[in-house]
Chain A
Amino acid sequence: MLHTINTSPFESPAMEECIRFVQPGDPVLFIENGVYAVQNGNRFSDAIAALQKTSPVYALQPDLDARGISSVDAEVKGIGYDGFVDLVEAHQVNSWL
């Protein structure tokens, strides 16, 4: 199951809530303001690193670009809308609004 998170972790508990429920192997995709979570060196970097031990983590590149985020946590993969579609093709979706 693909989990998407679209709110900044500084603003909303969505990311922390989502992480509690994600099953090992489930991919997590950050979109919209959610991408602030993966900016390198912020206070959520440890949480992202811990999540990556069991789940692949993606961020929507156009949303990173729009927000001027060029340095993301290691192993976080930037993908476009076409990559988003590929993930949806492969998984059911759980959007943590």
Chain B
Amino acid sequence: MRGTALPGFSATILNSEKVKIGILLKEGPYNHQAADTAYKFAEAAIKKGHTVDAVFLYNDGVINATNLTDPPQDDRNIAARWSEMAKEHGVEILACIAASKRRGITDDLMIEGGSITGLGTLTDIAIRNDRLLTFGD
């Protein structure tokens, strides 16, 4: 239950309640801002002490997690960034198998910390988390 803010106290501190969050990412990297917004959101949520359980990649989103990603040096490496988040914060980076097969994404192309799984896993993510946020076009 969320408490009632008392005068002089920050409502956020009094009411702060940690939530478990799943993320569904439906667009590929670079082509659309969705991957960046999802990342920045996840980063902020983790910093605030919330749990980001998993990022499930769907539609062209599956392209987010290939280890062939190699942008110019002065640009962010979106795939490497997901890999770091997986390793440092235990966020599962999961690409849908059906969507991956269509787009030529295979297990050996996955970033460290990423894996390919079925839509049933997304259902589990929806069930076991307090929130499921979608980012896409």
Contacts and interface: CB of A to CB of B under 8 A. Distances in A.
Interface residues of B, number: 26
Q: How large is the interface on A (under 10, 10 to 19, 20 to 34, 35 or more residues)?
A: 20 to 34
A95 B133 contact: yes
B75 to A, nearest CB: 15
B133 A89 contact: no
B50 A85 contact: yes
Given A31-B37, A97-B26, A82 B48 contact: yes
Nearest to A95: B134
Contacts, number: 56
Given A82-B47, A95-B134, A97-B134, A88 B40 contact: no
B33 A90 contact: no
A93 B37 contact: no
Nearest to B36: A32
Interface string A13-31: 0000000000000000001
A84 interface: yes
22 contacts: A6-B33, A6-B37, A7-B137, A31-B37, A32-B33, A32-B37, A85-B44, A85-B48, A85-B50, A86-B12, A88-B19, A88-B45, A89-B19, A89-B48, A89-B50, A92-B131, A93-B133, A93-B134, A95-B134, A95-B136, A97-B136, A97-B137
Interface of A: 6-7, 31-33, 60, 62, 80-82, 84-86, 88-90, 92-93, 95, 97
